Amino acid sequence: MTVPYRMKFGVFMAPFHRVGENPTLALERDLELIQWLDTLGFDEAYIGEHHSAGWETIASPEVFMATAAERTRNIKLGSGVVSLPYHHPYMVANRFVQLDHLTRGRVILGVGPGALASDALMLGIRPENQRAMMDESLGVIMRLMTETDPITYKSDWFELNEAVIQLRPYQFPHVPVAVASVESPAGVTTAGKHGASVLSLSVPRDTIRRTSLMELWDIAEETAAEHGKTMHREDWGIVMGMHLADSKKQAFEDIREGSARVVTEYFGRTLGNPVPDVPRDQIVDFMVEHNQWIVGTPDDAIAGIERLQEVSGGFGKFMIRVEDWAPATSSTAATSCWLATLCPTSRAPSSASRPPTSGPPSVSKSSKPTAMLASRPPPTPSTPAAPETNFASGHYVGTELHRPVEGRCSHCMDASDKPAPSPLCYRLVIGTSEIEPSSSIFKPTQDPTLSLKSGTHSKALSSSGPPRRRSQPGRT
């Protein structure tokens, strides 16, 4: 088993919004969640594309990602996924290269054949052709992003004549690509063929996995070798539903009704998939017992990730599937609990950018993630957790070390040397305040003060709610 020392963490947002909810407010709540994840230091967020069935209501991940990019600083934004058979490959390449520039390289192109048969039906696409169409489209997209000579290509469903994209990708050599994989080997075969990463949905839409993650990875590696490509386990993402609380009992009760609603009303009644043959109030117990969800305390999360590492042979990214199965306050507290107890150690910058330590090597074989996921006492659910701040020796903002100058953070002072917290430092510290987590961006009063008492900033806050757009450096 190969486990990277520094795992990455993120979310996979379909999203799942129950029919009858206010769609405008639901989308705004999704955007606020991405803002909160960026505040907490999560690595990636994948946004879905769906066009029917009423629950998964984001039709254009690119539009959502562009909006979220304006509200965030560090988190990478990926499509989860673009259904390639629904689009001309030239337009997909063009849109994502443009997003790559607008976000300064914070974009990931996640691709798939399309998940809902009703989407394909509306577009006149035969479901049995979708996987082949995805593979053909991705091959052209990769050429458009890496080749500079005009491309002429004729297919039975699209055509290119001396085509070339005007902009070269911001990221080199191209926008990172991830291929969705569920049950069949089609996803991992396509990923191996094109040298893309894999995004595995650990729970298929019929709620029970019948294929082996380890076998699917072997197929990806074999296919990659046949095409002169190399697969990297550290780029392999596993997607799973998860909910944490201070106690296992509380975690189960938080989502007992909401999780049953998603499984029975959407996956069962709407999509026609089989559901667990147990009473409604026991669905969450069934899913956890069958290792389909992780529900409980941070210790249960560590054990669940260790199990996934064992059965897969090792992966580098863990993606929480976003579910509307608990009240917003419980969901936000669960996210904060996850970060405070698990993520800070695993998110530490490389040894080249931090003070030397006697830690383990960058990649360890046959090791357990417990070594990199330090367990800490969980915070109270009402208080969002924030990354540790130690102004005596410096503090990290993402992977950047901020060192103190004359007792103050060198990155938290303006040109006139007056204490003025930078937006990012400011947001990292307010997580320890008694502010509702839904107000994930705050505006300081006209004269914010900065002090270094007990290793924290103290300042006046205006909690009038998150603005529509975050101020960026040099922007008024």
Give residue-wise pLDDT tens across range 92-146. 999 999 999 999 999 999 999 999 999 999 999 999 999 999 999 999 999 999 9
Whether this prediction's pTM lies above 0.75 is answered by no
Same domain, 274 and 391: no
Band the pLDDT of 211: cuts 50, 70, 90: low
pLDDT given at position 212: 84
Same domain, 162 and 73: yes
Same domain, 307 and 402: no
Same domain, 72 and 219: yes
Residue 165 has pLDDT above 70, yes or no: yes
List, as own/partner pairs, every contact residues 277-285 make where C-beta atoms lie below 8 angstroms and the sequence separation is at least 24, other chains included: 281/256, 281/257, 283/259, 284/252, 284/255, 284/256, 284/259, 284/260, 285/252
- CATH number reported for the structural domain that contains residue 39 in this entry: 3.20.20.30
**Boundary (domain end) residue, out of 291, 320, 344:** 344
- Domains: count for the chain: 2
Q: How many Cβ atoms are within 10 Å of 153's Cβ, its own excluded?
A: 16
Same domain, 420 and 331: no
Same domain, 124 and 188: yes
Same domain, 332 and 268: yes
Is residue 192 domain-resident? yes
Same domain, 67 and 144: yes
Same domain, 319 and 430: no
Residue numbers of the domain that contains 96: 2-344
Q: Identify which of 292, 188, 314 has the alpha carbon closest to the alpha carbon of residue 240.
A: 292
Is residue 356 domain-resident? no
Is residue 29 domain-resident? yes
Same domain, 306 and 390: no
Is residue 217 domain-resident? yes
**Boundary (domain end) residue, out of 285, 316, 344:** 344
Is residue 23 domain-resident? yes
Is residue 371 domain-resident? no
pLDDT given at position 329: 62
The percent of residues in the chain predicted with pLDDT above 90, rounded, is 61
The DSSP code sequence of 219-280 is: HHHHHHHHTT----GGG-EEEEEEEE-SSHHHHHHHHHHHHHHIIIIIIIIIT-----SS-G
Q: Would you state the structure tokens that stand for residue 117, as one six-digit string?
A: 């048969």
Mean pLDDT of 39-53: 96
Would you mind telling me the total number of residues written for the chain in this entry?
476
The tens digit of pLDDT for each residue in 176-202 reads 999 999 888 899 999 999 999 999 986
**Boundary (domain end) residue, out of 344, 375, 406:** 344
pLDDT given at position 4: 77
Is residue 268 domain-resident? yes
